[in-house]
Amino acid sequence: SKGNHRHFMEKEIHEQPEVISHTLANYLDFSKGRIRPGSAPVDFAKIDRIAASACGTAYYAGLVGKYWFERIARLPVDIDVASEFRYREMPLSKDSLALFVSQSGETADTLASLRYCKQQGLTIGTIVNVRESTMARESHTVFPTLAGPEVGVASTKAFTCQLSVLASLAVAAGKMRGTINEDEERQLVRELSEIPRYANQALRLEPQIEAISRDLSQVKHVLYLGRGTSYPLALEGALKLKEISYIHAEGYAAGELKHGPIALIDESMPVIVIAPYDHWFEKTVSNMQEVAARGGKIILITDEKGAAASTLNTMHTIVLPDTPEIIAPIIYALPIQMLAYYTAVFMGTDVDQPRNLAKSVTVE
Ligand code: F6R
């Protein structure tokens, strides 16, 4: 039931601190500051690369995972949307891990990609929310997300739980591959353990985000920009907005702005910039300057350090607490979900059952 929430989506957004906490506890031993032995039963030291695929929001989670695996474990990740992957007949090495991400475990294209990789003799690992799903059954290794049933068609808590699993696996892989030592493992585990606390703080921004959403519900087009791990968040923000509010939105890597989309910028199209104060921040700010110089209206989502460092005039600034870099994509998902949610509420759309969409896409 929705309890005292207006929509399942709102309820599921608010469940995130708790379900992320359950999910993390499956992989991390908080008291020892270690990856739980046996929680990632793949010998990452023997794997040469990861071939990942998924659809929609699960694909964006995988894209964030790519940044983590490559940075923390020095493990290269090829990732593609499953509808392309399944027909590409990509040359695959048997020493690669085939990794799939799916809430339902039933998505037709992702399942077909999984079966293709299995036929090619790869080890199959799947991050999945529904334990008794087809993908879970057909995988060698299941990495569960413990999000509980997700009812809203727009994925929210499944996404942040997928990210939590991917971050934990990247740390496990780093440990096995010797790219991080025990101190670094302990430090990363401690940072991951703080996600629920930061997520609760992010939820407190709800009244401000609701007010900003009133403005957003008046516009026809929205552009989302981000760099590094914020780039997949920009894609996810745009997807979430278009699927439930029907407002046209695009997500771009901030550095791609000048290669085309900058032509769209005028005062009628807000630009949502996702920019925690990380090692990409300065670059993203210079892209924001290009937007501001063309009269673009900026909604900046950043942290306290970022808000202090940015000298730009923004239409709105959403200020999250300063977070460790590894957890930022998980925390920044919340304001992005709330923006889409409240904008859709102002538009009066059917938030939990958007037109033309199904919760589980079992046909290609
Ligand atoms: C977007 C959304 C979809 C799903 C996609 C994959 O909010 O929910 O993009 O993420 O259809 O579904 P699963 O994860 O069930 O494979």
Cα-Cα-Cα-Cα dihedral of 63, 64, 70, 76, to 10°?
-10
List, in sequence order, every residue forming a beta bridge with 34; answer none if it has no partner. 29
Number of the ligand 1 atom closest to the C-alpha atom of 54: 16
197 Cα: distance to centroid of ligand 1 (angstroms): 26
* CA neighbor of 50 nearest in space, from 105, 122, 116: 122
What pLDDT sits at residue 358?
85
- Which of 145-149, 222-226, 265-269 has the weakest average pLDDT? 265-269
Number of the ligand 1 atom closest to the C-alpha atom of 107: 16
pLDDT band at 28 (very low <50, low <70, confident <90, very high): very high
Tell whether the model's pLDDT for residue 202 goes beyond 90: yes
Tell whether the model's pLDDT for residue 360 goes beyond 90: no
Looking at every residue in the chain, the average pLDDT score rounds to: 96
- Residue bearing the CA closest to ligand 1, atom 9: 56
CA distances from 29 to 35, 168, 187 (A): 6, 11, 12
Residue 125 to residue 135: CA distance in whole angstroms:
9
Q: Is 242 a catalytic residue?
A: no
Q: What is the pLDDT of residues 321-331, one digit of tens each?
A: 999 999 999 99
- The preferred substitution site among 53, 107, 110, 133 for testing ligand 1, maximizing ligand atoms within 8 Å of CB, is 107
Residue 90 to residue 97: CA distance in whole angstroms:
14
Number of the ligand 1 atom closest to the C-alpha atom of 56: 9
Number of the ligand 1 atom closest to the C-alpha atom of 55: 6
Q: What is the pLDDT of residues 40-80, one digit of tens each?
A: 999 999 999 999 999 999 999 999 999 999 999 999 999 99
Tell whether the model's pLDDT for residue 311 goes beyond 90: no
- The preferred substitution site among 361, 362, 363, 364 for testing ligand 1, maximizing ligand atoms within 8 Å of CB, is 361
What pLDDT sits at residue 217?
97
32 Cα: distance to centroid of ligand 1 (angstroms): 35
What pLDDT sits at residue 359?
87
188 Cα: distance to centroid of ligand 1 (angstroms): 28
154 Cα: distance to centroid of ligand 1 (angstroms): 7
pTM for the model: 0.98
% residues pLDDT > 90 (the chain)? 92
Q: How much is the average pLDDT of 110-121?
A: 97
- Residue bearing the CA closest to ligand 1, atom 6: 55
Tell whether the model's pLDDT for residue 244 goes beyond 90: yes
Q: How much is the average pLDDT of 287-309?
A: 94
101 Cα: distance to centroid of ligand 1 (angstroms): 9
**What ipTM, to 2 d.p.?**
0.99
* Ligand 1, pocket residues at CB < 6 Å: 55-58, 102-104, 107, 110, 154-155, 239, 243, 360-361
